[in-house]
Amino acid sequence: MTRSLPRQLRLLILLLAVALTGCNAGARFAYNHLDRLALWKLGDYVTLDAPQKAAFRREFASIWTWHRSTQLPLYARDLRAFAATLEGGALQAEQIEAVLDTAEAHGQRLGQQFLPAAERLLPLMSDEQVRRWRDERREKIERDEAERRDETLEQRRKRYIKEQREGVADWIGKLNPKQLALIDAAWQAELPLLRDPDVRRDERLASLARYAALLDTRTQPGLAARIEAFDDGDSPAKARRAAESARGRRLFVDLMQATDASQRDKLRRRLLELAEDCEVLAREPASDPAAAS
């Protein structure tokens, strides 16, 4: 499935989405300079030479043009439809699930556009570039896990609650008591499932090894099919990640059902502003990738 793409291979998908998380001129500016932002962000993973940069710009421009002309109008339509739903009062779980399904479908469609580009771009990476990417990712995992090894349970709880609050509050404003209680209950449910730091480190390193093995086949025919079929392991870790995703989705649905009238009004206005951004951007011409330096 496209959703199983490694983080590095999903970079383009993520970057195209980043510029649409705000609802103002800044978001429009970011989207209109997404080619430069993408190339800059890619530098966090691999240092490209001039021919590789040129190839990346060409591939990015093709997907970007498609996304601007065909996908942004769809986003605007769906955002306006969700905003209209909010006018009807308290949300039902089925309504929220439908919105999440629609968003996932948009991501899947974008992922499918990315696959042919990945098949053309990844073989351009040298063995040295792949080695450096693997080594730097391994070092980052070791640093991350070392920093969190001594984290207390209370520190983990605060981090979890902070992340959950911030993920929603930016769109609906200050959370109400019922929503805060839902987040606290979700944390309590997480407690029996928390991983030992060594287990978490080993899982991340094993995942990195599978990604690296996939990249080692980058010059062989059928890369796009292997990427699409890529599955990050057939293990308890895979089941755990699926369960985590399901719990996160359930919490989101519960939080949205618990919105009050003021929160729904703020969300509705944010969605309409974002829909307008999409419509404006869809009408603007894409920048010329050949002009980028």
Q: Which residues of 261-282 are buried (b: 16+ CB within 10 A; e: fewer)?
A: eebbebbbebbbbbbebbbebb
Mean pLDDT along residues 152-169: 91
Task: Please state, in angstroms and rounded to a whole number, the distance separating the CA atoms of residues 22 and 275.
Answer: 11
Helix (H) / strand (E) containing 70: none
- The pLDDT value given to residue 16: 45
Tell me: the pLDDT tens digits for 91-148? 999 999 999 899 888 888 888 888 899 999 999 999 999 999 999 999 999 999 998 8
